[in-house]
Amino acid sequence: MNLLDLSGTLLFIAFIAYLVATLFFGGAIRHKDKGVSASNQKWGTIGIWITVIGFISNLGYFITRWIYSGHAPISNMFEFSAAFGMFIVGAFILIYFIYRVPSLGIFALPVALIIIAFASMFPKEVSPLIPALKSYWLTIHVITTVIGESILAISAFAGLVYLMKHVNMKVRSKERFWLETVMYTLVVVIGFVVVTTIFSSMHYEAKFSYVDKNEATQEIVYNTPALFGMNEHKLLTEDRMDPLVDMPALINAKKLTTVAWSFIFGTLIYILLRLVLRKSISEKLQPLVKNANSQLMDEIGYRAVLIGFPVFTLGALVFAMIWAQEAWSRFWGWDPKEVWALITWLFYAAFLHLRLSKGWEGKKSAWLAVIGFAIIMFNFVAVNLIIAGLHSYAG
């Protein structure tokens, strides 16, 4: 077994460990009484140590792939997504040993699992780096950014626990609707994994030619039936579906097609879950967090932003600008990825302003934390997969 195979095995072991640990954290909060029993503590202890084992295995994947490739494994969507999932778990472990809150594991670990599963749908081959990526500033920029985003994700998980406990699921309201929308969005990511797996197992391919934004003719291969066509496309493969509509050169229609299929399959999965559960996902999860300490969740959410925001600032803005200057001879260029990094930064700056100056605590703070993570995920998924830009190689 070479290092690349070993890294894949270690990532799979980490995935299984996180899945098993989630079940133990579920056991740690299964009792209805408010007091924490010895049984609860035992299940939580087992859960966190299985999580630690999974994280060590995940870290082993990261190190062995780095040694094999000769560069940090953060240069494409597979590597970045796998690193994102790993650092989310790392941030959760740190928070757990400080606060001992198993209810956070009910959200942190499943989200990490979904992100790692999302990563596995992208090509895993190690490819030579393009010139723009051959810089140690890229490594510093991306790793610092993903650590900051992972810490900020913890604030969203704490916010979800708070909202799950305090939003009345028996009454129709905007809060209930938006909370369920968060659950639906997570299911859509699962839909991406399902649709990619299905068409990959079918070895589906459809080749097209198109005209790119530089008015050059290129070829592209779709791995799902084409719903959206690249700019001025022409189908080159017989007996394949022709796109329904052409998209402008700014939009990567192939990836937009994958996103559309993800929503289709995700919606079908969501409907099936609703039929099986006979209630909303949020309502089904609510009993798991009813004994959570609301004040503690609010504190965790706030402190996670206090720590994550400066780390994100360094990675996504300061170090990113240094790398941009080295790679493209300019600090800032209004590339879509840069714009959304700035939007994310401005949002969390507003979060801290509203928290410190306006006294936004409790529900307001929890909603802001969840919205902030939604912005991070939009940047992570939609901007990478749909909008063409200087960072398109990441997709």
Confidence of residue 368 (pLDDT cuts 50, 70, 90): very high
> What number of residues does the chain have?
395
Residue 97 pLDDT exceeds 60: yes
Predicted confidence band of residue 65 (pLDDT cuts 50, 70, 90): very high
Flag whether pLDDT at 244 surpasses 60: yes
Alpha-carbon distance of 316 to 149, in angstroms, equals 9
Confidence of residue 84 (pLDDT cuts 50, 70, 90): very high
Per-residue pLDDT, 216: 84
* pLDDT value for 37: 54
What is the average pLDDT score of the chain?
Answer: 87
**Confidence class of residue 256 from pLDDT cuts 50, 70 and 90?**
confident
Is 37 buried (19+), middle (13-18) or exposed (0-12) by CB count in 10 A? Answer: exposed
Mean pLDDT, residues 21-48 taken together: 73
In 72-100, which positions are buried (b, 16+ CB within 10 angstroms) versus exposed (e)? bbbbbbbbbbbbbbbbbbbbbbebbeeee
Token reading at 124: 């895993």
Please enumerate, as own/partner, the contacts of 32-40 that have beta carbons within 8 Å and a separation of 24 or more.
Answer: 32/291, 33/291, 34/291, 40/102
Q: pLDDT tens for residues 267-309? A: 999 999 999 988 889 888 888 888 888 899 999 999 999 999 9
What pLDDT is attached to residue 147? 95
Q: How confident is the model at residue 140 (pLDDT cuts 50, 70, 90)?
A: very high
The answer to whether 375 touches 343, Cβ cutoff 8 Å, is yes
Tell me the C-alpha distance between 183 and 178, whole Å: 9
Least confident of 77-91, 172-186, 320-334: 320-334
pLDDT digits (tens, 9 = 90+) for 211-240: 877 788 888 889 889 899 888 888 888 888
User: In this structure, are residues 59 and 86 in contact, taking their beta carbons and an 8 Å threshold?
Assistant: yes
Task: Considering only CA atoms, give the Rg of the chain.
Answer: 21
Q: What is the pLDDT of residue 302?
A: 94
Token pair for 354: 């509203």
